[in-house]
Amino acid sequence: MITKNLQLKTLIGNTPIIKLEKDEFNLYIKLEQYNLSGSVKDRAVNHILQKGILENKINSDTVIIESSSGNFAYSAALHCKYLGIKFIAVVDSNINTIMYEKLKSLCYDVIKITEKDETGGYLLNRIKMVKSLISQNENYFWTNQYANVNNYLAYSELTNEIIESVKDVDYIFVAVSTTGTIKGVSTIVKAINKNIKIIAVDIRGSMIFSTEKYSRNIPGIGASKESDFLELGDIDDFIILDEKEIIEGCQSLLAKGFFLGGSSGACYQAVIKYNELYPEKLGSKNIVFISPDGGGVYVNNIYK
């Protein structure tokens, strides 16, 4: 199984990084849609499964289970199909129709949570469902992306790719959910150069940096709970956007020829908003943002 997992790894990473032309900033986009399943989550899934297999926690009888807003589940579903093991996805009503249909084709089971939790998201109810299922089935392995350190340890290569492509990078903007991506990026970046600023981008109603309860409808960004990973000093700042601003960011990117997902629009809009708040900070700095996925699965909400 490990050989097959390593084969999949050859289809992950070394994604392109593109400089936006004629933009008011020196802005680079790291395009993670060019990974195996079309998102940055391939890096986390491959690494978590690799560790699970090497530590004998995963074998041919194991059923993998995870709560996901879409991208993690799709990557895990593709991985598990190739490895010849079963995968159960616990998703919610915000999931994109196209993503839901893809998962139904690939997964052993897809469980959709339709009741929002007390914060206005679905995560807490998704996790409740996963916990209930693993307590009843000994052969279930929960990848547990919100708390498994192998989630954020998976992002060292992504960080090195950014640093090698944009040698004098000043700012990195990262959309957050499990905070695995930002924690992974920050761990490497801060060890190399503390002056490189890491800015988290979140959505209104997410509980990562705020306690304001507000209904959220864009999948992928935000969480109904605080981060299990982030510590003081990991990030330099955060910025919270509402859904209207995120859609505006997606439309601006589209006008420049980039058809990207909600978190990418959020990052782009965050750069603009951050510059309005602190124009002296961004100036002519080199800024990178990570685009976790493409716009294809967002045609039914953001691009409608």
Ligand X SMILES: Cc1ncc(COP(=O)(O)O)c(C=O)c1O
Residue ranges binding ligand X (CB under 6 A): 39-41, 71, 175-182, 220-221, 261, 263, 292-293
* Distance of closest approach, residue 9 Cβ to ligand X, in angstroms: 17
User: For residues 169 and 297, which CB has a smaller minimum distance to ligand X in the complex?
Assistant: 297
Distance CA 237, CA 26 (A): 19
- What tokens appear for 5 in the block? 């997992």
- What tokens appear for 233 in the block? 């000093």
* Distance of closest approach, residue 261 Cβ to ligand X, in angstroms: 5
Strand bridging mode 26-31 / 17-19: antiparallel
- What tokens appear for 261 in the block? 């997902």
User: For residues 1 and 65, which CB has a smaller minimum distance to ligand X in the complex?
Assistant: 65
**Which residue number is nearest to ligand X in terms of Cβ?**
220
Q: Is 17 exposed, middle or buried (0-12, 13-18, 19+ CB in 10 A)?
A: middle
* Distance of closest approach, residue 144 Cβ to ligand X, in angstroms: 12
Residues 221/222/227/232 CA torsion (nearest 10 deg) = 80
User: For residues 41 and 216, which CB has a smaller minimum distance to ligand X in the complex?
Assistant: 41
User: For residues 175 and 241, which CB has a smaller minimum distance to ligand X in the complex?
Assistant: 175
User: For residues 5 and 227, which CB has a smaller minimum distance to ligand X in the complex?
Assistant: 227
* Distance of closest approach, residue 221 Cβ to ligand X, in angstroms: 5
Helix (H) or strand (E) holding 133: helix 123-136
| Distances 19 to 16, 28, 152 between C-alpha atoms, Å | 10, 4, 26
* Distance of closest approach, residue 238 Cβ to ligand X, in angstroms: 12
